[in-house]
Amino acid sequence: PRFFVLNGPNLNLLGKREPGIYGGHTLADIEALCVEAGARLGFTVDFRQTNHEGTLVDWMHEAQDAADGIAINAGAYTHTSIALHDAARAIRVPVVELHLSNVHAREAFRHHSYLAPAAKGVICGFGAQSYLLALQALQSLTQSAE
Ligand code: DQA
């Protein structure tokens, strides 16, 4: 299987950005962890980041033909974007929402996700490990679909 790992706004600044909340890993470090997990567990990872909401929508549409699942850290668009909700509903590939931080232990405005009701599930609070857990979830979804 081939999984898209999509990253939204400000995640390009990981490592420098509020390391007390988001950890010291850069996004390139996390990409390397994901690619390495894929090599070990038997899936391919297409890892991307954008600061633009519409680009995330385009990539979700692209996944329809090009991927078996999407792990997405939509950053702040999680809490604002009906477009991402609609995109996740419009495609047949499974979507797993993920966050580095435990959004439920933070400000109230992070407690609501527009994306979550359209996702298969949500993983948050495990730092870089959240990405690996999301990929494992996609892999088991893909296997149970076979
Ligand atoms: C985040 C949590 C969001 O609330 C925040 O806007 C982010 C990062 C996380 O990975 O913990 O940009 O998605």
* Per-residue pLDDT tens digits for 58-111: 999 999 999 999 999 999 999 999 999 999 999 999 999 999 999 999 999 999
**What pLDDT is attached to residue 146?**
59
Give CA 42 to chain center in angstroms.
19
Residue 47: band (very low, low, confident or very high) from pLDDT cuts 50, 70, 90 = very high
Residue 17: band (very low, low, confident or very high) from pLDDT cuts 50, 70, 90 = confident
Q: For a ligand 1 pocket test, name from 10, 77, 100 the mutation site with the most ligand atoms within 8 angstroms of its C-beta.
A: 100
**What pLDDT is attached to residue 144?**
80
Distance (Å) from CA 103 to ligand 1 centroid:
7
Distance CA 98, CA 78 (A): 10
CA dist 28 to 41, 49, 57, 84, 100, Å? 20, 10, 22, 24, 15
Strand partners, 47: 5
Give CA 61 to chain center in angstroms.
15
β-strand 69-73 against 95-99: which pairing, if any?
A: parallel
Residues annotated within a binding site for substrate:
73, 79, 86, 100-101, 110
**What pLDDT is attached to residue 64?**
96
**What pLDDT is attached to residue 82?**
98
Tell me the helix, strand and coil percentages in the chain, rounded to 5.
50, 20, 30
* Domain residue ranges in the chain: 2-145
- Name the residue among 18, 22, 28, 80 with its Cα closest to residue 53: 80
Consecutive H or E run containing 70 = strand 69-73
In this prediction, the answer to ipTM > 0.90 reads yes
Distance (Å) from CA 146 to ligand 1 centroid:
33
Distance CA 30, CA 64 (A): 24
Say if residue 33's pLDDT is above 90: yes
Say if residue 145's pLDDT is above 90: no
Residues classed as catalytic = 22, 99
CATH of domain 2-145: 3.40.50.9100
Strand partners, 73: 7
